[in-house]
Structure 1
């Protein structure tokens, strides 16, 4: 198989989700215990509810049955990404400016590989994160190509 399962499922799901006025945030295919789970996370401005998830699940399930891209049994779950939404694409990062983020990098940046704070700006190549550490505020510039993972962070 030329493409991996998550890419194939995203290709199948994309037109369905877009037709319903939503976007795909992430697709995961993972084994838990003896079972395989195909998880599709969807969202839209203002959020999604259970009815949205059910509608996408029904249409996607029909398409997956027709195209049958996955060998063996699996459970399909369609849900919201929740409060700690992953930031997968540049547009996700752009929308997160002004919000709290949690970022890990491939290699150390200013001696660190984990950054949590407010995303102050993103110009397409560099993220500027403001972190509060021990009563002081520190601005860190992180090259976008060094970001291993990024997500929104909940602050308590």
Structure 2
């Protein structure tokens, strides 16, 4: 997790939790003059548009006061959805048995993209079953990961 994401999570997670939701994760995407801050919130009973709006209002107020992002940015508050991104070892452990797509920051055994079934977590590594091969992927090497929804 980058320093900026850690800083934003430390600032915003308590707000999300105070409103009764789980801070699922934060994406901070800065591309030139456009910056996007996406906050994923979750709740066992689901997330409504009203919940996103309430978190957005509170987060905006804190971001305006603390000013952790220089320049203009767009704030989005969203449910993680069915194809939820996974950010933490805890989330990977909770998702054991799920199909997932994982993109690594750097190639591992000659590849950066993996698709398989999460078998669990060992230490700071995600255990991923891809066909008949099991990979141990360090959480710090994972750039992006999403559950593949089952219909």
TM class, shorter-chain normalised? 0.7 to 0.9
Q: Is there any run of 5+ residues in structure 1 with no aligned partner, and where? A: 133-137
Q: In structure 1, what is the Cα distance between the partners aligned to 2:51 and 2:59?
A: 12
Do residues 108 (structure 1) and 108 (structure 2) align? yes
Q: In structure 2, what is the Cα distance between the partners aligned to 1:84 and 1:53?
A: 18
- The answer to whether the Cα contact below 8 Å between 1:57 and 1:76 also exists between their aligned partners in 2 is yes
Structure number with larger C-alpha Rg = 1
Range moving further from structure 2, 3-12 or 38-47: 3-12
Which residue does 2:147 correspond to in 1?
152
Q: Report the CA distance between 1:78 and its aligned residue.
A: 0.8
Do residues 28 (structure 1) and 19 (structure 2) align? no
- DSSP 3-state at the match of 2:96: coil
* Alignment size in residue pairs: 148
Correspondence for 2:135 among 132, 137, 141? 141
Q: 1:4 to 1:124 in 2, by over 3 A?
A: closer
- The answer to whether the Cα contact below 8 Å between 1:104 and 1:113 also exists between their aligned partners in 2 is yes
Which residue does 1:135 correspond to in 2?
none
- The within-5 A match list for 1:91-102 is 91-102=90-101
Q: Is there any run of 5+ residues in structure 2 with no aligned partner, and where? A: none
Range moving further from structure 2, 32-41 or 84-93: 32-41
Q: In structure 1, what is the Cα distance between the partners aligned to 2:29 and 2:19?
A: 26
- The answer to whether the Cα contact below 8 Å between 2:99 and 2:117 also exists between their aligned partners in 1 is yes
Which residue does 2:72 correspond to in 1?
73
Note the alpha carbon deviations across 1:65-124, whole angstroms, 9 max, x for none.
222222222222111122222221110110110111112343434x54432122123233
What value does the CA root-mean-square deviation take over the aligned residues?
2.7
Range moving further from structure 2, 37-46 or 54-63: 37-46
- The answer to whether the Cα contact below 8 Å between 1:107 and 1:146 also exists between their aligned partners in 2 is no
Which residue does 2:121 correspond to in 1?
122
